[in-house]
Amino acid sequence: MRFRRILTILAVGFCSLAGAQENPATYPSRPLRLVVPFAPGGGTDVLARIFGAKLSVVWPNAVVVENRPGASATIGTDIVAKSKSDGLTLLLIADTHTINVSLYKKLPYDPLKDFAGVILLATAPHIVVVHPSVPASSLKEFIDYAKSRPGALNYSSSGPAGTSYVLTEILKAATGMNLLHVPYKGGGPAMTALVAGEAQVTIAPAVTTLANWRAQRARPLALLSGERSPLLPGIPTLTELGYPHIVFESWYGLLAPAGTPPEILNKVNADIRKAMALPDVKQQLENQGLQAAGGSPAQFDAYMRAETEKWAKAIKAAGVPPADL
């Protein structure tokens, strides 16, 4: 009798678990939480709003964007790593996700093993940008200006281990500049600091640069992409300027907690690719300097592994030491 009772309890438990699993046909069964581990105003936030709005129209429940910045995106990322694998909590990340593993001695999660790729959303060039008050119209002029004032110029970053921090440290190592690091809680605040004159230089993605360049609040000097961008005519790449090893592109993607059912990952992937094809979404992305990406969940997993290896080599070569969280 006791054995039969145990079997009954187990059967009920399994049925409950099965009932709790999301059905792709009615997904999401309640409002979906989209965690952005950065402050408002950056590329991740822009993409979350664009795609969140589109998915809220075609899905039976809305997408709720939740900004959880701090500790170079590890706070919001850890929240999702420890969330249920039911597809109702997703994470919108940037390239910082594959950088942190090489910059911190220990993370509260594994950037690859604790997550399942959903889709690579977009890419954009990184840009070396200075405040208009800086008397430099080219990268060489800025390097000469900075070298004549060692330690006197500030550079802003999205955090003490953010992409802009790592890229500026790589550029410093290659050029011999001595710049003072001033970290902020995201790419948006870092660009705001530059516009306000709190920092003289930053390396930022196009999404936080273009509007300020058009308003003459910031001056781009060089691109870190492999080729020039039609969005910034006349701005050379670092490869053209003699730094061919500094070629990095910013990217943004969507992750789910590891163990999320493949059918849910594929459902979200397919619906986002449909949204990417909409003319108004294409226009919004282009206006922000973003290039729509795409691909399958498996392709995004492979992309993140390759990015993790690339950043590890670059960080080691630049001599950036790992830090404590």
49 and 102 co-located in one domain: yes
At 209, which CATH number? 3.40.190.10
Query: What pTM did the predictor assign?
Result: 0.83
Residue 62, pLDDT score: 96
pLDDT, tens only, 98-129:
999 998 999 999 999 999 999 999 998 999 99
Residue 314 has pLDDT above 70, yes or no: yes
Query: What is the pLDDT, as a whole number, of residue 287?
Result: 86
Instruction: Report the C-alpha gap between 284 and 290 in whole angstroms.
Output: 9
Q: Is residue 325 part of a domain?
A: no
Mean pLDDT within 260-285: 96
pLDDT band at 21 (very low <50, low <70, confident <90, very high): confident
Boundary of a domain, candidates 173, 189, 223: 223
Indicate whether 12 pLDDT > 50: no
Domain containing 298: what range?
29-124+249-318
Please determine, for residue 274, whether its predicted confidence score (pLDDT) is greater than 50.
yes
Give the chain's domain count: 2
**Beta pairing partners, 204:** 127
Q: Is residue 53 part of a domain?
A: yes
If you average pLDDT over residues 297-309, what whole number do you get?
Answer: 97
**CATH, residue 293:** 3.40.190.150
Residue 235 in domain: no
pLDDT tens digits, residue range 149-206?
Answer: 999 999 999 887 778 999 999 999 999 999 999 999 888 899 999 999 999 999 998 8
Q: Is residue 232 part of a domain?
A: no
Tell me which of 223, 258, 278 is where a domain ends. 223
Q: Does residue 10 fall inside a structural domain?
A: no
If asked whether residues 102 and 138 sit together in one domain, one would say: no
291 near 73, Cβ under 8 Å? no
Q: CB of 251 within 8 A of CB of 295?
A: no
Of all residues in the chain, the percent with pLDDT exceeding 70 is 94
Tens of pLDDT along 237-250? 999 999 998 999 88
- Per-residue pLDDT band for 2 (boundaries 50, 70, 90) equals low
pLDDT at residue number 76: 97
pLDDT exceeds cutoff 50 at 24: yes
Same structural domain, 197 and 258: no
pLDDT tens per residue across span 213-233: 999 999 999 999 989 988 888
Average pLDDT over residues 18-38: 86
User: What is the rounded distance in angstroms from the CA atom of residue 220 to the CA atom of residue 196?
Assistant: 16
